[in-house]
């Protein structure tokens, strides 16, 4: 890769030592790896520094702010925003190299293929997700408290390669993620002044299960896909209940703070 097309891999982490041990040896093609850690209690920081990553520890507030902190550390002309449980395929790496060298667009969307509960989920999972993950460092910033997105100024293309996403490996991990994300999302909704709706605890879970099992044909994914759909519905129920509770306990002068729950 030419000097004008260097690549930084930027990550945010919390208790990802196991994933980093597998991921970091595969990133030898990157010119720089930067990590903003939200306060890990395992060996995440030590593992990262042992692989010569640039690491900054900063208390977690929002996903967008953490990702922007990592972006501010990047020195490459292009940035790949990566999660610790994701693995770029060889095809994707080659495509990113070509895209950076050709420099025809400022950012690229990347497909995600998920392995959930130890099994591929190709219909009711994240196969339709094509987030912007590879971009020129000066082309955008992250926005959003929970489901953060990259706000890009310029033309965006889509790569044919993908990220292998090994996520939600056990039910315990899934339930922990539900607890963490629903707490963040409920607080974000209340801060935005979004009033809870009476039927959300009933309608939202049923709609999510139907969307994944029927509309997206998740029934064909087998037991892992069925469990993913049902737990996704449960997540919507927890979110609706938390949203209603936070709304009822808010004060006129202060909205709930986003709190990152302990593991």
Q: What is the CATH number of the domain that holds 89?
A: 3.90.550.10
- Does some domain include residue 231? yes
- Does some domain include residue 254? no
- Looking at the structure, tell me whether residues 34 and 84 fall in a common domain: yes
Q: Please say which residue of 167, 200, 216 terminates a domain.
A: 167
- Does some domain include residue 76? yes
What range defines the domain where residue 80 resides?
3-167
- Looking at the structure, tell me whether residues 208 and 151 fall in a common domain: no
Q: What average pLDDT does the segment 31-45 reach?
A: 97
- Looking at the structure, tell me whether residues 69 and 196 fall in a common domain: no
- Looking at the structure, tell me whether residues 209 and 233 fall in a common domain: yes
Q: How far is CA 86 from the centre of its chain?
A: 9
Q: Which of 225, 222, 238, 202 is nearest to 125 (CA)?
A: 225
Q: How far apart are CA 35 and CA 20, in angstroms?
A: 11
- Does some domain include residue 64? yes
Q: Please say which residue of 167, 201, 236 terminates a domain.
A: 167
Q: Please say which residue of 130, 145, 167 terminates a domain.
A: 167
Q: What average pLDDT does the segment 202-229 reach?
A: 95
230 burial (CB, 10 Å; 0-12 / 13-18 / 19+) is middle
- Does some domain include residue 261? no
- Looking at the structure, tell me whether residues 140 and 231 fall in a common domain: no
- Looking at the structure, tell me whether residues 197 and 244 fall in a common domain: yes
pLDDT at position 17 is 97
Q: How far apart are CA 93 and CA 98, in angstroms?
A: 9
Q: What average pLDDT does the segment 143-153 reach?
A: 91
pLDDT at position 4 is 67
Read off the pTM.
Answer: 0.86
- Does some domain include residue 260? no
Confidence of residue 255 (pLDDT cuts 50, 70, 90): very low
- Does some domain include residue 187? yes
Is it the case that residue 263 has pLDDT exceeding 50?
Answer: no
- Looking at the structure, tell me whether residues 109 and 42 fall in a common domain: yes
Q: For residues 48 and 257, which has the higher predicted lDDT (pLDDT)? A: 48
Pairing of strands 132-136, 78-81: antiparallel
- Looking at the structure, tell me whether residues 102 and 221 fall in a common domain: no
- Does some domain include residue 60? yes
pLDDT at position 146 is 83
Whether the Cβ atoms of residue 51 and residue 24 lie closer than 8 Å to each other? yes
- Looking at the structure, tell me whether residues 52 and 131 fall in a common domain: yes
Q: How far is CA 231 from CA 121, 170, 194, 252, in A?
A: 14, 12, 24, 34
Q: Give the tokens for residue 197.
A: 């709706």
Q: How far apart are CA 222 and CA 106, in angstroms?
A: 39
- Looking at the structure, tell me whether residues 163 and 177 fall in a common domain: no
Specify the number of domains making up the chain. 2
- Looking at the structure, tell me whether residues 210 and 97 fall in a common domain: no
Phi (first) and psi of residue 200, to 5 degrees: -55, -45
Is it the case that residue 128 has pLDDT exceeding 90?
Answer: no
35-44, 192-201, 204-213, 248-257: range with lowest mean pLDDT:
248-257
- Looking at the structure, tell me whether residues 132 and 231 fall in a common domain: no
Q: How far apart are CA 120 and CA 122, in angstroms?
A: 6
Confidence of residue 261 (pLDDT cuts 50, 70, 90): very low
């Amino acid at each position: 890769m030419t000097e004008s097309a260097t690549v930084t891999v930027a990550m945010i982490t919390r208790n990802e030592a196991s994933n980093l041990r597998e991921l970091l040896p595969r990133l030898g093609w990157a010119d720089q790896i930067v990590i903003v850690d939200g306060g890990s209690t395992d060996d995440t920081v030590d593992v990262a520094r042992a692989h010569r990553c640039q690491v900054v520890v900063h208390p977690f507030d929002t996903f967008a702010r953490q990702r922007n902190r990592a972006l501010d550390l990047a020195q490459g002309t292009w940035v790949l925003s990566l999660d610790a449980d994701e693995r770029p395929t060889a095809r994707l790496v080659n495509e990113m190299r070509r895209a950076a060298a050709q420099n025809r667009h400022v950012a690229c969307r990347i497909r995600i293929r998920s392995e959930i509960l130890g099994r591929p989920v190709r219909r009711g999972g994240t196969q339709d997700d094509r987030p912007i993950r590879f971009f020129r460092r000066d082309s955008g910033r992250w926005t959003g408290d929970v489901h953060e997105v990259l706000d890009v100024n310029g033309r965006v293309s889509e790569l044919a390669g993908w990220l292998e996403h090994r996520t939600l490996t056990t039910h315990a991990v899934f339930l922990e993620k539900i607890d963490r994300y629903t707490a963040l999302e409920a607080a974000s909704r209340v801060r935005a002044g979004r009033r809870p709706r009476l039927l959300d605890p009933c309608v939202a879970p049923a709609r999510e299960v139907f969307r994944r099992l029927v509309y997206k044909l998740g029934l064909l994914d087998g037991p892992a896909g069925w469990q993913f759909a049902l737990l996704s519905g449960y997540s919507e129920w927890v979110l609706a209940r938390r949203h209603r509770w936070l709304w009822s306990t808010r004060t006129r002068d202060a909205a709930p703070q986003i709190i990152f729950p302990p593991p």
